[in-house]
Structure 1
Amino acid sequence: MGVGKIRGIRGHEAVRAFVRAGGVMRQGKGDHVNIKMPSGVIITLPWSKNLKVGLLTAAIKKAGLTKEEFLELL
């Protein structure tokens, strides 16, 4: 899968996708949000910024999802 499809995704869009995957949103510090996944893993993402590809890819892997599964949840 090409990198271009996950480029330009905003934090709040990614948070919604992780919540649809079963995560529970919790308040983080400042503009950041913590999402607790069913596996117990906690993912921290900025709410308002465009996410960099490396950060988003790492969060997707940490959540136990594939890029394709994540894109379907958007």
Structure 2
Amino acid sequence: MPKLTNNQLAFLLARITLGINFFLHGFVRIPKLEAFASGLTQGFEVTMLPLALVKMIAYAIPFIEVI
């Protein structure tokens, strides 16, 4: 294994930290998927976005974060 420079090591640590963060956010939201989707949909009710699109994306976000 090649020796990593300080910059490469810092970048690797940041990527691992962000990856774990995304994974845990998605993992925690999956059991409460309905509540998360309805809360997100309510937050976007006053915008121009179609609610069907918002709801579809709200159901996909936790799974995307886990992946």
Which bin holds the TM-score, normalised by the shorter protein?
0.3 to 0.5
TM-score normalised to structure 2 length = 0.32
TM-score normalised to structure 1 length = 0.31
Query: Higher strand proportion, which one?
Result: 1
Structure of larger gyration radius: 2
Query: Higher helix proportion, which one?
Result: 2
